[in-house]
Structure 1
Amino acid sequence: MTQLVTTAADDAALLQQHLARALAGGPALGLGMLGDQPGEVEDGTAVVIGTSGSTGIPKRVVLSGEALRAGAEATANRIGSGRWLLALPAGYVAGLQVLVRSILSGTNPVVLDGGFSPRAFAEATLPMISAEPLFTSLVPAQISSLLDAADDTTVLAALQAYRAILVGGQALPQPVRDRATELDVRLVRTYGSTETSGGCVYDGIPLDTAAVRTVDGELQIAGAMLADGYLGDPALTARTFLRDVHGIRWYRTGDLGIVEDGTVSVHGRADNVIVSGGVNVSLDRVERIVRGIPGLTSAVVVGVDDERWGEASVIVAARGEALRRSEAEQLERAREAVAEELGKPARPARLILVDQLATLSSGKPDREGIRRIAAELR
């Protein structure tokens, strides 16, 4: 057994020191832990991350030093090594992996202090520019704000300075991807979770040490980067991590998707489905289509009760972005696009405009909070 030491994630330099010791076999780190804390964990554990995700269900994910190193090394093999900018909370796996990659490459990341903004991003990035390749990891909302500010030459220069900007946490809208390509900003779409030590599928292609398959439409992942399980919850661990007849361990992602010619396509959460008029509707697929419409690229689609259809989908968007057209026009465009691809039963029933979309500290939308607002305004 090894000691578990809980620590705050707001001091990235101190956290990196503790993390380096944990990767070398020292005391394990507990990040974002709630409730009673165990004093010891299994040998080999480097980090335990407490996470509730966007649905509010708490989990404590156990990551070994081997898993974290495997994820970081596979990333370096795919995109290269260099200097990293830490622009995400280090208490979440995407931010934590920036520190792991930096430790393994013998570099110190530049930390974006304070709140995220295009100006802060540029001011942190420009002094880093040298012969050494630059990398960072962001969420789609951050990329959108940076691209919106790209008329500022310093912001554009900062974006173009990176060999690769990893983008994960949620789907990256096609208009955002197209805008980045136009501006020669090199984005890499990532797919993964805390249970896979962060992203392990880049631009649809699994990293070299990862394998992805589908079982009954659900994506499952195998590889050395898998978590050991959930601390104090053997039943959830057994349901989520399975071994096949060959002894290979697979992580059940809970995501629907396909693997075709080696390329992974994610269709959305298996449990993010409503039944509207007797028809199953994937809110993730509806949201992906809605986000392809200019003015709605950061919108969130949630399900609410509906007297006529049982359940219905609702678009919630920030007022400043959505009002490039009238509310009625935006809703009609969204309904037409969804109907064309998924059929009429999937059409959103309403567009709700808010001053600002609620987010979690990770930068992801607070879907449960947004759903409550939509239900109240419905």
Structure 2
Amino acid sequence: MSRSPYGPAYADPVTRAVVPADLDALVRAVGAALDGDGPPVAPVPLVRRATATTTLPPGTALVLRTSGSTGEPHEVALAATAVLASGAATHDRLGGPGHWILALPPTHVAGVQVVARAHAAGRGLTVAPPDAPFTPAVFAALVARTPSGERRYASLVPTQLHRLVAAADAGTPEGAAGLDALCALDAVLVGGAATPPALLRRARALGARVVTTYGMTETSGGCVYDGAPLSGARVRVTDVVEIAGPFLADGYLADPEATADAFRTDADGTRWFRTSDLGRLDGPAGTLTVLGRADDVVVTGGVNVAPAAVEAVVAEVEGVGEACVVGVPHPEWGQEVVAVVTPAGPAPRDPGPDPDPDPDPDPSRVGTVADAPAALVDAVRALVADRLERAAAPRRVLVVAELPRRGPGKVDRTAVARLAVGHAPG
């Protein structure tokens, strides 16, 4: 295996959490930490404001960094009991333990959970080459290495699923091989970011057993699958989505104020994690629909606009690949709604192995920011106004080659907003 960018393995000088030197070492260290036979594991060096008196809560197995997609990252302490409970509930929902494919960087919760589930199940782990780009051919080769007599699972981000579906629709031999591999799996978890509805429908129509997941580092990863909480999890919607259950983190490292604000215990003794997401519970079963982050809401002319709802509509417009909707200052409206889109066509570049991406977008990836053609702007505005309301229709539509990202597949909204602010209307 190639070495990590962090050099030799070492123990964090304050918490003593082990930072493995490479992927093989990480897999072994995670297993030992979950079994109680080794120290806690931090997949990347810790950067929190620690002091000599900082200690990890008893039973901590993992210290994981949040993606920081809208602000400063936190480092989260996860107990072995929480991680193992999450894995057991996942296998229960999917139909039993199975062999896992690791196609995500094991530096964020989604990737580390694949390692943890495989260890807990004792069924083995097939690992993607850490420095190889994610392609249909690479994915097909991964699936070919898995035992066909067992249940087989993979966890992907929407960008990776998009690559497989786009290649399949292109009709190339590589695309066909990737699709065969995708459909051979008993379940494909997709999370880390919202999956565009059109992509989800197409993947399922092609025969893929895709399961959407919702969760975050603070909940040991996904704990709501296809809108339904895993066994043991509880979901309620107050001003934001709140989650309870055995999967919750102990808190944020060296940040007691943030921990007290995010993790609250109610009168009956139930401990809840307050997400930053808006949502609603639909139907008798209370299926969760996530409407986007509360702090992403755009207020334009006194009307609250949820970017996620607008993005789902914009992504259906012919000629649009991906969409990110942000609010930028406007002298009359307070904020104006701006859609930044990529053109339809080849799937976006895969997330890559970088566990700690630069907060500034790489200009070579984003490319030139340009005003969308008038016909595309008109189509976007008309569809959004029809599906939602006129106030939600983007006043500007910008086109880039690729949306900037932070973390595994997450669009960096802060960077997108900077692009929109920095591009004067044409």
TM-score range, shorter chain: over 0.9
Taking the aligned partners of 2:229 and 2:158, their CA distance within structure 1 comes to 20
8 Å contact from structure 1 (residues 4, 30) kept in 2: no
Amino acid at match of 2:133: G
Number of the residue aligned with 1:258: 280
Mark the runs of 5 or more structure 2 residues left unpaired by the alignment: 1-13, 347-371
Q: Name the residue aligned to 2:406.
A: 360
Q: Residue type of the partner of 1:122?
A: A
Residues 307-346 of structure 1 aligned to structure 2 (within 5 Å): 307-319=331-343, 321=345, 327-346=373-392
1:353-373 deviations in whole A, cap 9, x for unaligned? Answer: 112222224121122122211
Q: Which position in structure 1 is the counterpart of 2:39? A: 27
Deviation, structure 1 residue 129: 5.2
308-317 vs 176-185, which deviates more? Answer: 308-317
Task: Return the alpha-carbon distance in structure 2 between the equivalents of residues 285 and 57 of structure 1.
Answer: 25
**Whole-angstrom distance in 1 between the partners of 2:407 and 2:263:** 27
C-alpha distance after superposition, 1:272-330 (max 9, x if no partner): 112211222122221122223344342111221223322112111224549xxx83333
Do 2:307 and 2:324's aligned partners in 1 also have CA atoms closer than 8 Å?
A: no
Q: Provide the C-alpha distance between the structure 2 equivalents of 1:13 and 1:293, rounded to a whole number of angstroms.
A: 44
Q: Is the 8 A contact 2:57 2:77 kept in 1?
A: no
TM-score scaled to structure 2, two decimals?
Answer: 0.83
Q: Any gaps of 5 or more consecutive residues in structure 1?
A: none
Query: C-alpha separation between the residues in 2 aligned to 1:129 and 1:161?
Result: 11
Write the distance in 1 (CA, Å) between the matches of 2:255 and 2:55. Answer: 15
The range that moved more, 348-357 or 295-304, is: 295-304
- Identical positions, percent: 42
Partners of 2:292 and 2:405 lie apart in 1 by: 19
- Determine helix, strand or coil for the equivalent of 1:299: strand
Asked if 1 retains the 8 angstrom alpha-carbon contact of 2:158 and 2:195, the reply is yes
Compared with structure 1, are the counterparts of its residues 27 and 129 closer, same or farther at alpha carbon in structure 2 (3 Å cutoff)? closer
For 1:297 and 1:195, how far apart are their aligned partners in 2?
A: 31
Name the stretch that deviates more: 34-43 or 152-161: 34-43
Give 2:149's aligned residue.
131
Q: What is the SS of the residue equivalent to 2:117? A: helix
Q: How does 1:235-314 map to 2 (within 5 A)?
A: 235-260=257-282, 261-262=284-285, 263-314=287-338
Counterpart pick for 1:209 among 211, 222, 232: 232
- Does the residue aligned with 2:133 lie in a helix, a strand or coil? coil
Name the counterpart of 2:101.
85
The AA in structure 1 aligned to 2:184 is A
Counterpart AA for 2:413: R
Aligned mates of 1:275, 1:213 — CA distance in 2: 25
Deviates more, 1:310-319 or 1:143-152: 310-319
Counterpart for residue 242 of structure 2 = 220
- Specify whether residues 188 and 101 from structure 1 end up closer, same or farther in structure 2 by C-alpha distance, changes over 3 A only: same
SS in 1 for 2:339: strand
Query: In 2, are the aligned partners of 1:209 and 1:223 still within 8 Å (CA)?
Result: yes
Residue 141 of structure 1: how far off its partner (Å):
1.2
1:355–1:45 distance in 2 versus 1, CA, 3 Å: same
TM-score by length of 1: 0.93
> Runs ≥4 in structure 1, deviation > 6 angstroms?
none
Instruction: Look up the match of 1:200.
Output: 223
The counterpart of 1:5, out of the listed 17, 29, 47, is: 17
Shift of 1:136: 0.6
Matching residue of 1:49: 64
CA–CA distance in structure 1, aligned partners of residues 288 and 276 of structure 2: 14
Letter in 2 for 1:127: R
- Which amino acid is 1:48 matched to? V
CA distance, structure 2, for counterparts of residue 291 and residue 62 of structure 1: 36
SS of structure 1 residue aligned to 2:402: coil
Cα RMSD over matched residues? 2.0
Moved more, 159-168 or 273-282: 273-282
**2 CA distance for matches of 1:320 and 1:203?**
26
Q: Which has the higher strand share?
A: 1
